[in-house]
Amino acid sequence: MSDSLPEGDSPKKSAPALGGPPLQLFSIDSDEPRGALAADPPLRPTDEFLEELERDSERLESATPQEILRFAVERFAPRFTMATAFGPEGMTIIHMLAEIAPQTPIFNLETGYQFTETLELREKVKQRYGIEVEYKYPETSVQEYEAAHGGPLYQTNPNQCCFDRKLRVLHDAARGQHAWASAIRRDQSPDRAKAPIVGWDRKFQLVKISPLANWTKKDVWSLITSEDIPYNALHDQGYPSVGCWPCTRAVLAGEDERAGRWSGFKKTECGLHSS
């Protein structure tokens, strides 16, 4: 495997938010077939197939998230999967999948740095829906990883830490799948604003389905409230977006909902949803 890794970026925790060098873009480059290309049968992103996805995406623009999930299940199961960090959007999709296709394999990237409150949601999902979310782990424990790098890498090079503890793990989890569900909303960031409902994810070589692309935060929380969907207790403590504990802080009044993620770094995404 010849993955290209991000180069180190200097610590900026105490620097002004706009200071410091730009983060390096990085990608998972590999000669091995992966994602849908490693599936049996493989799913190849031919021009014809990409055009088909584009047509599906346009057709589903005005569909409900449940209709989009039904399409995904009918078209791609049993090679349809979902990764979740147990955010409000992810919990909403899990709630829908519990009704539509509870057999859908769902996994969580267990970096070793998640909040206790986040891990507790796995149990709540099991109790409420009977769905067992599978943990996918990095190659090394937190202790081994920090020892190998002379300390916590999230303080000095969060891009590489996310790459090693999230992207590589998703890269492996995607092997043999045809499609995955993402819980992104277009109104979350300029980068996410371009997300199609159905598209080809070049990074992971999978069809990416975003059933909540057209939903707002209010839509998500309305459903959570009306259906009493379990959610992360940290959302009631000033954390609208929850990631790993070292890279998440509560937000202040008036701040963007993702302002508490990698605060003090230019980094805004872990890399799972950026192209």
By Cβ distance, which residue is nearest to ligand SF4? 244
- Decide whether 246 or 264 has the Cβ nearer to ligand SF4: 246
Residue 122 beta carbon to ligand SF4: minimum distance, rounded to whole angstroms: 17
Which listed residue (161, 162, 244, 270) is catalytic?
270
- Segment contacting ligand SF4 (CB under 6 A): 98-106, 161-169, 174-182, 232-240? 161-169
Query: Is residue 270 flagged as an active site residue?
Result: yes
Determine if 173 is a binding residue for ligand SF4 (CB under 6 A): no
- Decide whether 120 or 269 has the Cβ nearer to ligand SF4: 269
Q: Which of 165, 168, 192, 208 binds ligand SF4 (CB under 6 A)?
A: 165
Residue 201 beta carbon to ligand SF4: minimum distance, rounded to whole angstroms: 19
Determine if 72 is a binding residue for ligand SF4 (CB under 6 A): no
Determine if 243 is a binding residue for ligand SF4 (CB under 6 A): yes
Per-residue H/E/C for the chain: CCCCCCCCCCCCCCCCCCCCCCCCCCCCCCCCCCHHHHCCCCCCCCHHHHHHHHHHHHHCCCCCHHHHHHHHHHHHCCCEEEECCCCHHHHHHHHHHHHHCCCCCEEEECCCCECHHHHHHHHHHHHHHCCCCEEECCCCCHHHHHHHCCCCHHHCCHHHHHHHHHHHHHHHHCCCCCEEECCCCHHHCCCHHHCCCEEEECCCCEEEECCCCCCCHHHHHHHHHHHCCCCCHHHHHCCCCCCEHHHECCCCCCCCCCCCECCCCCCCCCCCCCC
- Segment contacting ligand SF4 (CB under 6 A): 20-28, 60-68, 153-161, 184-192? 153-161
- Decide whether 73 or 247 has the Cβ nearer to ligand SF4: 247
- Segment contacting ligand SF4 (CB under 6 A): 1-9, 99-107, 204-212, 238-246? 238-246
Determine if 270 is a binding residue for ligand SF4 (CB under 6 A): yes
How far, in Å, CA of 93 to CA of 274, rounded? 20
Where do contacts with ligand SF4 occur on this chain (CB under 6 A)?
Answer: 111, 113, 154, 158, 161-162, 165-166, 243-244, 246-247, 270
